[in-house]
Structure formats: structure tokens, C-alpha cells
Structure 1
């Protein structure tokens, strides 16, 4: 027995030692992948020495003697910090995520392949200006140089994620950057799911379904079933979320809809007598952020601002003379067409003049840990066919039909990259406006500021639809009818939209109540922004920061007096601890609330829960299973019902009940249901509830985040103020039982032309994508608190505060292959 005990003890100690050594080995290789910011490298591809000065916040300040060398250094710096993120974005655009993530990434790969994002990017490369092609080539060489340095120095493969996923890192190609920019354009649009939802609503509730999404003044649409009278269409809800696994989405999800605010004050309305500009493009809240801060020394002048890893352009930022920012215009840039397949021959479809062949090809999706999938990609004159599983298309597509996509981003001569580089190198507004004429997708509100004033331009492409289009692009239409097809695309009107010295844009045309798309609730944030800007005679940098961080919900201010009109202060005070007393306490708090979605208050939680329960109660009996998938709040719909616009109060009556319910009755029942749910979650004391307890951002690392224990290191959780309609936007998770924000203003910048070096910016994570780096999340807490860091172009200040200086020294061209201008890559 003693001998057995000794052997057991030795085995246990041996296992402990092995585990400890394995842990130390993993730690060693993980730490090896941390870049040394104070190193010097002999590199091929540059003409003179380059310095990358890292500020305290790890912002690279690139000092180079030529533009080519500056773009080379930007590629190397981004690869140092975000190599894994860059390869994932590239894979996402190419439809090759399943090669590392397995079968769960198949839907996203299928969608990207069918859309042809990477093919369109490769085709667009030759359409770029010579300067842009040179910048793309130099940038790719810089990325490739870092990959070579990592390989030669055995530097932990460049990122710890590469140890967990089978990923041979291919050299970067210029077209890869264009593909990521196209992926961003696809993510900026929200038109596809909007069209599917309208069709679903028309099928589920033909008489009143469009009340949920209709904007004020929109023309009535035909019933969706009338467009396909001979087909059988299922009005049931989709079985799964559309097309993209959210734990992999991480960075950019096609047609998820990216928002932004961009607003400015001209010299007569500023304290210092020079223009101000603020911009806060939004994206999924992830670790690391989609955005990456950088400064570049160019021949045209130094520039600083926000980039996307993989894209060599300052998308929002400033130079010494010019500031620029953008907001996706949410124009209706995509249409779905329902194509009839020829009976007995799936290779043909019905065209305007009869049956014709699909353009078809086959591609293989390689699946890590599973069988490879061969898919047939078919294309019509309207665009590529999409899978029925994407965006719930199978719920509105008749048997014997398929859905095709027309989207402005499928252009094969898209020069948006050239527009971006032209803007960042422009000397003034006139030069930037000239460059912006090349802007393709996404269509955007571009705001420019220099010392002579402010300009706002609507840039990008928009489809031309015939006057006889059956749905004007708001629902899928029969693809064989000529009037439903695009008549081409046109550049949006690049007009100035100044109003009393203040320009503003939140995704809709300034000065109008309509949007370029069909989002009936977009005016809420726009009107709140206009009110804040008009409320001050004189603006300063701090007042624009205050506006950018505004957390007052215009939807709450509009809906609560309307929904609660017959509930405020009714009846005698109820006994403590009763549901009636909880309702009275909740109503008292809401009656005194100013609408601020502050994470430390109970009122935002009560309001959000009440409105969600109210909308669900209004639509559930009419829409049936579809209501399970409509948990995004539609304030315009609730307002329409309680004002009984066009008889919309009919939604308040529960069809299954014998009684006729009134809207006040539904409002009270919904509030009781919300209080009951919140009590179960947070206890009976209404005053102790906190919005931040429910509205907690889980900034997930798309690769490491879902893995047990590793997620504890790689993910970041922090409560946030704000909500769906606040200017400091934090839209909620689509899950019906969740209030988690899924996106937000991942970048914020405020540019001051009176004192440019006092301009500020911030991102929602740290600069590094390495979970063991101290710069992985060091900016996230500042971002949450509404703090910023200075974006100075002073080289002496950058060097004085440097935490490391990477020196790149030229050497003879050696081992790094030059990226091919049009080569198609077969690796990540």
C-alpha cells in the first residue's frame, strides 16, 4: 500500500510539473508574439530610414521621407498590433472563415462567396488612381515585411490566436485592402433584412403589417402576396438568425447597418472663430475595436485619425489644414429580386424576354474539421443568387423561385479607396470635394472643415429605379419585370447642406423629414442633434464633446407622455410590497425622469423593459411566430398606435380575447409584465434597479471570446449608458430577453481648426489586438467614461512622450516577395 501511495504521489507531482511546464511554454510563445516597439529592423521596400514613434496610448506616429515609405510603415505597424484581426477581415471578405472556424462559419462564407466581395475588389484594383495603387502596393509590402520578420525571428507567429487556429499566413495583396473596404460597405447597409421584414409583415398581417416599419408620408405598398399570386409563400418566422454567426461577426457583418453622427460648427458659431467637426462612426463592440488610431507624415502634410486594420487610409481625421468625417447615408442601395426558376431545369431562369441561362461557376469552401463543401454560384442579370438561409429569405421566397441581389457595392470599378486617399491628402475643402467624386460605396454624408468654412456633401452611388417599380425597392419584386430592374446607378447629388452655420448628419438628409432609405425612426436622433446644436449660440470643442456623449433618449421623451397618459398618479397609494405599489413607484420615477439613459439610474431599465413588453403585446397576436424575431424597438410604430394614425390603434385589441382591449389597458398590462420580469431579475425594490446591470457591453474577442477560460482574458465587460436612439448610441441585442448593447461609437473624434493640436480622439478598446499587451484595453475605460486622448501632430511632443521608437532601415531587396497587383490569394 505504501509503495502504491508513493507511485501515486510521484505521478501527481509529475503531472503538476508537466502542466506547469506546458503553461510556461504557452506563456513563453504567447509573450514572444508581443512586438518590441523599440527594435530596429533592416527591411526591403523602403527608400530611406523610417521611424514609428509609439505614444503613451500606443498610437503610431510614422515619420517617413516619402509617401511610399509612410504607407509601408503603416502596413507594418498595423500588422504588429492587429495581424490576426487583419487576416480574419480578409477571410471574411473572401468567404474563407470556415477554413479556421469550421462549420459554424459556413453561412458567412456562403454569403461572401455569393456576393462576390473579393472578386469585385480584385476587379476594382485597376480602376484606382496611380497614387492609390502605389499606396496599396507599399502598404501590402509593409504588412508582408512584418510577416517575414515574424517568421524569421520565430516571434510567436505574430499573434497568440494563430497557435489555436490552423492558419498559414499568406502575404498581403493590394486587392485584400479593397475587399475589406467593400466588406465595410456591405456592413454599412441595412436594406436586405429590411426588405425581408417588410415582406414577412405583409404576409403575416396583410392589412396592417406595414405599420411596424412605415415612415411618415411613405406611399402604400402592394400586398406582397399579390406580386406572386400563383406561388405558395410561407408566412412563418425564420428558424434561425440570418446568415452570420455572431460570435464570429466580431468586426463587420454584411447588411447589419452601421451608423454614425457627423456634425460641425462654422467659424461664426464657435468661441475661437474657427470651425469645429465631430465624428463617431459605429461598429460592433469587440476586442479589439474595428478602429485603429494612426498618424502619418506624407508629402502633402501630416494626417492623423482613425483607420481600419487592413485599409491604408485615415477614414476620419485631420491634417494641419483640413478635417473630415463621414456618416453612412443609409440610402436604399440594395434590392432583392425574386427570380423564377424554369421548371425541370434549375440552370435557367425567367428573364424579361423569356427563359435564359444562369451565369454559373463552382467554388469549394474548405471546412476545418469537416467535409469540404462545393457550392454553385449562379448569377442573373439582376445580380447573384443568394442562399435561402440568408436573412430569412426562405420565408418569403415562393417554391420554385430564388432571390437575387442588386447592390451598388458589386461595382467592379469602385474607386472609394482612391476617394479616401485623395481626401486625406487634400490641402483644402475644394481638393477634398474633387477627390470625393470617386466615392462609390457606402454612400455617405461627408463633412469637411478648413479655416475658410464648412462643407457637407452627399457622396457615393445610388440606384436608378423606374417610376413603375412595383415596390420602389422596399420589398422584393419579380425579377423578370423590366420596371423592377435597376436602370443603372448614379452619383448622389454632391450639394452643400449648411444650415445657419451648423452642418449635421446622422444618416439622413439634412433639412428633410425623409431618408434616402426607408427607416421611419431615423429622425429621432437627427432632431435631438439639431436641438442641441441650435440650443447654443456659440460652440467650443467641449460643447461638441458634450453633444457627442449625449445620452438623452428622444424616443423615451416622445413615448412616455403618450403611452402613460392615462396611468400617471391614478388611484390611492397601494400597500408596500404589492405589485400595485411597484407600478406606482415605477410611474413616479418615470414621470420625473428627463430621459437620460444613465447606467446608474433605474428609469432607463423600466422604460426599455416596458416598451419592449408593450411592442411584443401589440404585435404577438397579429404576427404570430414572426413576433419572436422582432425584438428591436420601433418607436415610430408605438407612436403611430397610440396616436391612432390611420386607425393603427387597432393593434391594441387582442384578437383572441372576447373583450375589446384599449391602448391604455395594454399599456398598463405591459408595464405590469415588465415589472414582474425585472423583479425576478433584480429584486422587488424598484428604486434599486440599475440600467447598467442590464445594459452591459460584452466586448468579445471573435476568436478567443467563446472559448472557456480564454474568454475571461480576451473579453471585456463594462456597463454603458445610452441606448437605441441616443446620440451616444448603444443599440441593444436582438434577443428578446436581453438588453446587452451589441454596437456603439467605436471611434470618437472632435477636430478643432482653431487649435488643431487640441483635437481629441478615442477608440473603444486599446490599440493592440494582443490580449497580453498592456495596450489591449487601456483606452476602453477612457472611452466608457467619455474621455479622450489628444491627437497632436507636433513631432516633438510625440517623441517626448514616446514609449518606444521602431526604426526601419533600408536594405537591398531580399526575401519579401512584392505583392502582385492582381494576383488572387488562396491563403488567409
Structure 2
């Protein structure tokens, strides 16, 4: 018996030793890919030595003898810190994700290949300026030099994820890869086609005046009634409503958004010296994009030759997308331009290989695509194209619901036009020194359209960078709904010249701001878009900018962190006034509920609209708004309700103010009684209280908005694999909401309707009295390595609203620096 016990103990000891040895070996392999900040490395392709100072926050400060070597070094540090992120971004743009991730990403790969994102990128390499071509080549050379160094020195494959997903090996980085990553950004920021599909679906079920309620125009002038979609296809038979979609959050992170309101947003504003405490301009920018770990953004200071620029770079490209040079700084916000049109093409019933055009029947062009799928056979398909663009299949962008029988849907999009010199536009922006050079740079941009707000240290201004379609005034669809492809009236008349894009130069008010709001009151066809963001953020910005005679860097930082909801201030009195005056009902509610109801109403009555994460009022109000939308619209919309589920404040305002008869939404059409809006508000409030009590307990004063408004930044793809995903996610409680300057957008649906999934992953503030006092922050950390201490070390600062100094001075970079890496030309 003792012998058996001894052998069992020996066996257990052996197993423990093997486990320990395996863990040690795994840790060794994983940590080999962590960069040494003090290394000296000889790399092929470098012309002269380069030093890279890693400051205390792991931000690289590149010092090179030429702009070419600076781009090379940026490629090196991007590959050191974000190689897996770059590989995922490249594969997404190439339609090659499924080769490593399996069937889950086939739909995205198919869409990308149908649109030929990578083909367009490859063809646009030669369209770039000579300076840009040199930078692209140098950047790719830097990435590849580091990959070769990793292979030669066995540095853990460059990133730990490659041990799980790197069976194919890592192919060299190319200039086209960088262009494709940027073009993929355009795909993720363009939601016009999704908006057309949604509007078309609603118009097939509701009269136009009711669609105007549920999908309202921007308040104010230039409001129109949407076209009658079905009448554009007289006699056509549309498919029934499809089964509810179960949107995959991973696909929404990597590809186009599943809901139009989830596309890019942002705040950006500036004041000139007349409005500044120092007499010099100030500028703030915080782009609102999808949250992920690591952050989409990577901070860098790049100096070499005639290039000196610092700010937020996009790994995979040699660009500082938002930043400053020694004299000029800029920020961006998405224009929300209507840059996509869906065309419904009539297929020839006698010849399925042709379709109807204004000139008669024309043959489809075609090409073959192949999608490699991990663990499955490759998918080989034929892609059709019309004169308007590629034909969408497999319900891409949800087109099946708005495509009649005997027809197909094709997409025209500015990003598929030629030439595409958007990369060159951004490279020129990095070197611009005044308004004239900003305008010249913006004129080269194709997609996505962006509002560029800038200051050259003297003046401030804004210009729209990006191509805008020219549509005919007699277009029956106006680009708002899918268009009949056989009507000449719906055709684009080319692209507008850049000189026609909206701009503001040296405004008399001394301030300029944008929060994705409407930037022109021109009527169609000169309106740019029908789908501006709701005006609540710009109202708050304008109010706060006007509240001070003079602003400072600190006041700009405070404004970026402003969490007061002008939406709540506008809507709450409309929906709560009768409940406040009448008081809570004492009957027909569970025991204890009247007291909780009274307490909740009391809190809201005294609430300032501040979406503070430590308080219960934002949670009560947000859930009430969500339930109110359901009470008002679910009965009429049925399965369509999932398209707009969540708070819809412009809709609620129209209903409770009975604008154009919108008050009819308060009546439940399934009952003989005529319900009032006050009744709907009360019922929705009860719904909200019941749900919150169930999820957060009976103590209202213990409820906290931050507990529901969690920013969970997930790793791709490990963050989406339960339960290990928690190990690779960066999570913080956050203030703000969908309509605050400190924007944290939620889906409004599902089991976590208020999770913060879309926010300002980068914030910058420039003080032109001393540009080296500029401040920046990203939402995670500089490293993409999950086992690095710099994977999430900036996240706490970001969640608190703090920032770090971003100076271009060597002595400041070296204070507390992690080390200085030296890159040497390989002999």
C-alpha cells in the first residue's frame, strides 16, 4: 500500500513538473516577442542610424536623418507593438480572415472580395504622389525588416497570437496593404447604404409621414418627406421581412457597421486667439470609433528630415491621422456624407446574364473570387458587376429585404472610384503649414469624407476632405432609398469638385466646432446628406464654448469630459411632466414599488442631466427612454422594431410634441381604446423600474450608471471566446452616453443594452501658445501584446478623463524613459 502511495506521489510530482515546465516554456515563448526598449538592432533597408526613445508611457519618439528612415522606423515600432493587429487589419481588407478564423468571418470576407477592396488598393499604389510612394515603400520595408529580425532571432513569432493563428506564416508587408487598411477604414465609416436599406424597409411597411417620425430628418430647415419607395418599382414583388438578424459583434468590429448610427462619429472644435486666455488658438479632437484591445490608435512622435509630426497613428499605415506638426494641428470628425447609393437592377427574364440600363439591356461583367476557410473547403463564387458597381449577394448590407423578385442590388460608392489619393492627402496634411496647404491636401481625398478642423497658430478653420457625389435634381430616389438602375435620373453625374465642399475659414465668431451635425442647409441635391447625427452634442458644444469669454487648455480638457446630456434636458420634461405633477399610483403595483417609483421620479426631477457613472439617474432615464421607444413603436413595427430598438429621442420629441401628427404613435393600434402619450410614458416608466429592480436590486440609491455603461474593449479574436476572453479584455466603468460630448454609445438592445461599445479611443488637445504642452491619450495602452504591462496601462487615465503630455522635445521624452532603441543599417 505504501509503495502504491509513493508511486502516486511520484506521478503527481512528475505531472506537476511537466505542467510547470510547459508553463515556463509557454511564458518564455510568449514573452520573447516583447520588445527590448534598449536594444541595438541592425536592419536591412535603413539608410542611416535611427534612435527610438520610448518614453515613460511607451510612446516611441523617432529621430531619423531623413523622412524615409523615419517612415521605416515607424514600420518597425508598429510591427514591434501591433503586429497581430496589423495582420488582422490586412486580412480583413484582403478578405482572408476566414483562413485563420474559420466560418465565422466568411460573410465579411465575401463582402470585401465582392467590393474588391484589396484590388482597388493595389491599383491605387501608382496613383499616389512620389513622396507618398516613398513613405509607403519605406514603411513596408521597416515592417518586413522587423519580421525578418523576429524570424532570425526567434522572437516568439512577433506576437503570441501567431502561435494560435499563424499556421500559414506571415507574408511580407506591401504598399498595397497600407492602402487597403485605410480603404477598410472608409468601409467601416460609410453607412449610407445601410441607411437606404433601413429606410426602404420601413417605407414598405409604413406611410412616408410615419417613416419621417421614426427615422426623422435633422431638425430645422431643409426637412423633406422621404420618397415613396415601392412606387419606384411599380408592380414589383418584394420578399417578406427576413428573420431577425443576430449581429455578430466581432464582424461589426472588423467590417461595416450593422446599424447606421454605429458608424464613425466625433467631436472637434477650435478657438482662435481672440477667445483664448493666452492669445493663441486652442484645438481639441476626440474621434468616436469602435472600442477594441488594443486601441485602434497608436501614439507616436516622428521626426526625420523635413518631417516632424506627432499624434495618433493608424497601425498598418505610415500616417498620423490626427495630430500636429511644429506649426499646425488638426482634428477630424466624420461628415456622414451620402457617399453610397444602392441600385436595384432589373435582370433580363429572357437572359439572366444581362440587366436593364437607360440604354437598354447590357451584359453583366463577372469575375471569380475564392475564400479560404479554416477547417473547410474553399468557397469559389462568381461576382457580377453592373455599370453602377458590384452586385451584392447573400444579403450583404441587408439588401435582400429591399430587392424585388427578378432584380439584384448593386453598390456605387465613392471609395470605389478612381483615382484614390486619400493616402497622399493625409501625407500632405501631416506637412501642411497653413490653410492653403490644408485645402490643397483635402482636395486629394476620396473616402471617407471627413471634416478637418485645423489651426496654423494664427487662424482656425474647417474644410470637408473627401469626394461627394453629384446627383440630379430630378432624381426620384434622392439617394435616400435604393434607386432603379434603369433610370437615367438616378445616375451620378460624376463627383463634385473639391472647391465646392463646405469650408469655414477664419470665422468671425472666433470658434468653429463639429459633432457630426449638419454643415449645410442647402436643399437636395446640394445637401451632402440627409443623415446627420442628432443635434444634442453640437448644442452642448456651442453652449459651453459661448459660456466663457476665454478658454484654456484645461477648459478644453474639461469640455472633452463633459457628460451633461442636452438630450435628457430636452426630452425628460416632455415625458415626465404629468408623472411629476400627478405623483405615483398607489394601486396595481407590487408592495414597495410606489415608494421606489416616487424616489426615482424625485431623483429625475432634481437631475441636471449629468451622465455621471457614480449616480443612478442616467440609468433610470436611459432605461425609461428605451422602454418608451418600445411602448410607442413595437406594436406598429412588429419585426421591424429590432432595427431601431433603443432610445430614439428625436422620435420621442416628435411624438410628445405631436409634430406633423406624430402623436398617433401613442395609441396602441391593437386595442379599441385610444391611449394617450401620458399613459405610454407611465407604462414605460413602470417597465423600466421593473427591469432595473430585477437587475440591480431594490435600493435605487445604490444603482450606478457605470455598472451598466461598461467600456469593454475586447481583443480580436480572443476577447470573443468565452470564458478566456475576460483575460484579454480591458474594462472600465464610464460616464457619458449616446448624446453627450463625452460620448459612449450603446447598442440599446440585448442583455447589456448600455455597454459602452463606441467612444473616443483617442483624445487630443493642442495649445498653440506652447505646442509641447499638448495633451493626448488612447483608451488602452501602446502595446498590443496581451502580456505587456503597456497593454492597458493608459486605460485608467482614459476612463478618468486624464491625459498625458505629448512633446516633441527630446529632453521631455527622455525624462523617465523606458529606454532608447538604436536601429542601424545592416552592413
Q: In which range does the TM-score fall when normalised by the shorter chain?
A: over 0.9
In the TM superposition, 1:659-678 aligns within 5 A as: 659-678=673-692
Q: In the alignment, which residue of structure 1 is the partner of 2:393?
A: 387
In the TM superposition, 1:157-196 aligns within 5 A as: 157-165=157-165, 166-196=167-197
1:648 aligns with 2:646: no
1:686 aligns with 2:700: yes
Bigger shift: residues 35-44 or 48-57:
35-44
Q: In the alignment, which residue of structure 2 is the partner of 1:826?
A: none
Per-residue CA shift, 1:206-262, capped at 9, x if unaligned?
Answer: 3523311121442212322222232222352543246xx322544554575111111
Q: In the alignment, which residue of structure 2 is the partner of 1:568?
A: 580
The count of residues paired between Structure 1 and Structure 2 equals 810
Q: Do the aligned partners of 1:103 and 1:367 also contact (CA within 8 Å) in 2?
A: yes
Distance 1:586 1:791 in 2: 44
Q: Do the aligned partners of 2:433 and 2:456 also contact (CA within 8 Å) in 1?
A: no
- Alpha-carbon RMSD across the aligned residues, in angstroms, is 1.9
1:794 aligns with 2:809: yes
Bigger shift: residues 87-96 or 343-352:
343-352
CA 1:323–1:571: 2 relative to 1, 3 Å = closer
Q: In the alignment, which residue of structure 1 is the partner of 2:36?
A: 36
Q: In the alignment, which residue of structure 2 is the partner of 1:18?
A: 18
Distance 1:198 1:724 in 2: 22
CA 1:206–1:510: 2 relative to 1, 3 Å = closer
Distance 2:373 2:533 in 1: 41
Distance 1:345 1:161 in 2: 49
Distance 2:707 2:425 in 1: 43
1:530 aligns with 2:542: yes
Q: How far off its partner does 1:48 sit?
A: 1.0
Q: In the alignment, which residue of structure 2 is the partner of 1:111?
A: 111
**TM-score normalised by the chain length of structure 2:** 0.95
Distance 1:748 1:276 in 2: 14
Q: Do the aligned partners of 2:336 and 2:532 also contact (CA within 8 Å) in 1?
A: no
Give unmatched runs, 5+ long, in structure 1. 813-828
CA 1:192–1:284: 2 relative to 1, 3 Å = same
Bigger shift: residues 146-155 or 181-190:
181-190
In the TM superposition, 1:14-93 aligns within 5 A as: 14-93=14-93
1:413 aligns with 2:409: no
CA 1:79–1:772: 2 relative to 1, 3 Å = same
Distance 1:625 1:33 in 2: 49
1:777 aligns with 2:792: yes
Give unmatched runs, 5+ long, in structure 2. none
CA 1:780–1:632: 2 relative to 1, 3 Å = same
1:559 aligns with 2:576: no
Q: In the alignment, which residue of structure 2 is the partner of 1:496?
A: 504
Per-residue CA shift, 1:521-571, capped at 9, x if unaligned?
Answer: 522211111111111110111111111111111111110001112111424
Q: In the alignment, which residue of structure 1 is the partner of 2:268?
A: 262
1:508 aligns with 2:517: yes
Q: In the alignment, which residue of structure 1 is the partner of 2:306?
A: 300
Q: How far off its partner does 1:508 sit?
A: 3.0
Q: In the alignment, which residue of structure 2 is the partner of 1:760?
A: 775
Q: In the alignment, which residue of structure 2 is the partner of 1:364?
A: 370
CA 1:70–1:604: 2 relative to 1, 3 Å = same
Q: Do the aligned partners of 1:761 and 1:788 also contact (CA within 8 Å) in 2?
A: yes
1:322 aligns with 2:328: yes
**Aligned with 2:279 (options 259, 266, 273):** 273
**TM-score normalised by the chain length of structure 1:** 0.95
Q: Do the aligned partners of 1:336 and 1:476 also contact (CA within 8 Å) in 2?
A: yes
Per-residue CA shift, 1:605-638, capped at 9, x if unaligned?
Answer: 0111000000011111111111133224221111
Per-residue CA shift, 1:163-213, capped at 9, x if unaligned?
Answer: 111341111101111111111112112212211111111122235233111
Q: In the alignment, which residue of structure 2 is the partner of 1:620?
A: 634
1:517 aligns with 2:523: no
Distance 1:599 1:413 in 2: 47
Distance 1:51 1:251 in 2: 34
Query: Stretches of 4+ moved more than 6 A in 1?
Result: none
Q: Do the aligned partners of 2:583 and 2:598 also contact (CA within 8 Å) in 1?
A: no
Distance 1:571 1:756 in 2: 55
SS of the equivalent of 1:315 reads: strand
Distance 1:476 1:414 in 2: 25
CA 1:499–1:642: 2 relative to 1, 3 Å = farther
SS of the equivalent of 1:748 reads: strand
SS of the equivalent of 1:560 reads: helix
SS of the equivalent of 1:567 reads: helix
Distance 2:288 2:533 in 1: 18
Q: Do the aligned partners of 2:343 and 2:482 also contact (CA within 8 Å) in 1?
A: yes
Distance 2:630 2:532 in 1: 19
Distance 2:26 2:376 in 1: 27
Q: Do the aligned partners of 1:388 and 1:402 also contact (CA within 8 Å) in 2?
A: no
Q: How far off its partner does 1:459 sit?
A: 1.9
Q: How far off its partner does 1:101 sit?
A: 0.4
**Aligned with 1:742 (options 738, 757, 761):** 757
